[in-house]
Chain A
Amino acid sequence: MSQSSSTLPRWIDIGLIPLLNVVMALVVSGIIILLIGENPIEAVKIMMYGALGYEEGIGYTLYYTTNFVFTGLAVAVAFHAGLFNIGGEGQAYIGGLGAGLFILMADSSLPAILILPLGIITAGLFGAAWAAIPAYLQAYRGSHIVITTIMFNFIASALMVYLMVNVLIKPGQMSPESRPFLDNAHLPFAHEVFAWMGIEITRSPLNVSIIWAVICCVGLWLFIWRTRWGYAIRSVGFNEKAAVYAGITPAKTIMLAMFVSGALAGFVGVNEIMGVHHKLLLNFTAGYGFTGIAVSLMGRNHPFGIVLASLLFGLLYQGGAELAFEVPTITRELVVVIQGLVILFSGALAYMSTPWVEWVYRKCTHKQPALQGG
């Protein structure tokens, strides 16, 4: 999926240019804040304080980061196979549904030690299954996966509304929510874990899902760059015809990549349903699936880059909430704008700055030999 220019050294190609792109996105965001009539520097200060200035803020930032790591990795693994998975939102939704259904069935009979890992696995399997249908249609029937995954987002949303309103709603209640899970199906919050170790920190939605997110990052890195399956995925993404000559079946590889992608997206359900809400409800995905696209593009589809990009977006989400609270003319949707700009500059216009950077680089490198020679 990614083309790299051969004339520039690696550090410029994977370090400087992505950084430039993000800076451009942030500069345009700053201009928008100016247009609204607020001070961008002041806005950044408020955001930084809101996201990192106190324990609860840090907790929220890391809680958002967890979601973005999952959805960012999901988009990235599909990208490596040359596929664009826009369906992270739907896969996350169905993943949460899977975890919720399993827990509603099993929380009165199984102990925490069984129900928590099984819940995580169910979330992954449901997300993977939701991605497997578009994957199958792409691999074996040639349907464009971008369109089918968009359609599956809407189908997932309709399915959830139907299930929540008609089937899973707790009897005698108006809002479409299931009954709360029993305590044994709660993933421990970070403040609970720290309390066991005798350290007191402020309550926040941050829970142990973040550890699972880190494991997924390392696991995906190993999977993509250190296994034959990852090699197959990268080969198909790079050149499908060559992959066929190397004995790789593209159809199977597409299925595998999307299965992993869907499972990763489904883990958002682990963080949200098992970690925070402890019941099934509507709209818990809140656009995290789409943010995954920005995260993956910004992180250049590499787990390490994705962690950095997720942290930035976690910071923006939490800081944006603080900003909306402090400055009445600014709303949380400002973060959505920044997200759109990041996708635009880091994705669609990713190579806009390359000719300029190349020009500057050549100017600099041409001078040095001249100086040495003279």
Chain B
Amino acid sequence: MAPSSRHLLGLEGVSASDITLLLDTAESFVEVSSREVKKLPTLRGKTVINLFVENSTRTRTSFEIAAKRMSADSINISTSASSMSKGETLEDTARNLAAMAPDCIIVRHPASGAARFLAKVIDCSIINAGDGSHEHPTQALLDLLTIRQHKRSIEGLTVTIVGDLLHSRVARSNIFALKTLGATVRLAGPPTLLPREFADFGCELYFDVGRAVEGADVIMMLRIQHERLGQHFFPTVNEYSRYFCLTADVVAKAKPDVIILHPGPINRGIEIASEVADGPYSVIMSQVANGVALRMAVLYQLIIPGADGIRGSTVGESTIAPPAPSLPAAAAPAVAAAGQMRVA
């Protein structure tokens, strides 16, 4: 098995210094996107494969632009256009891709643990671009970069995360990293989507969004994931939005200089009011812009073996085990079966 420091599988167990290194590197890349020629020659001759077994606009585009701005060749593979639709397993697909000697495979997959599984079976850098309900490390890192640009330091901030915590990989990655960097994390959502086990992460739990955002420095909204929710977690979308939609009245309870993040795509009027999403506290568009710089930094740090970069140090082994063993099945990764799993 390849050393874990070639991969970015999750932020659980990743040290504060490695997170800071990635954020600092990303800071240097922010300026590149404002240049006339938005291209650096650093990854010339490197090949990056975007293996997206689940739909995505922002993340896939962002990774592709990041790779191209670093002069790497990037290739996109999506389920419908690949042999996975003919029933090839993830492992077989990945082994075949690896045989063409890419330098990095970016994978998004509906099964928790899919990225970790690939890192075990093939010899190539793996970046997790979202695996089921497990982690989405680059999204959390770009959130941290955005927060740091507005608040200077993460340490000591109060960050409130609102919405479907149970299914959110964005929330998990953010919780790990925010706790590592010393923030206070509050979680708010309906009891069905916010199991008590989340307290084991060292977070404060709230079922009242108004109380949860009182005095908060940062509000992070999560998308209501219709595709993962089924119908059993709250009676109607209408009822959810009556209690948990982020409106201007709720925002008024936070600190006057609060910033509001959302990983997108947003459901206007369901988890966030349009006036808030487009309002002065919203930093949603700078999140998207930072996404490119952050992903350039991750590609650079993982593909170029490090002198004082991340591959020169040790990136913590992030485990694919569910964060709390007693979490309901939705969060439990189907790791053992992932290799044999056929994608519908």
Q: Decide whether A and B assemble into one complex.
A: no
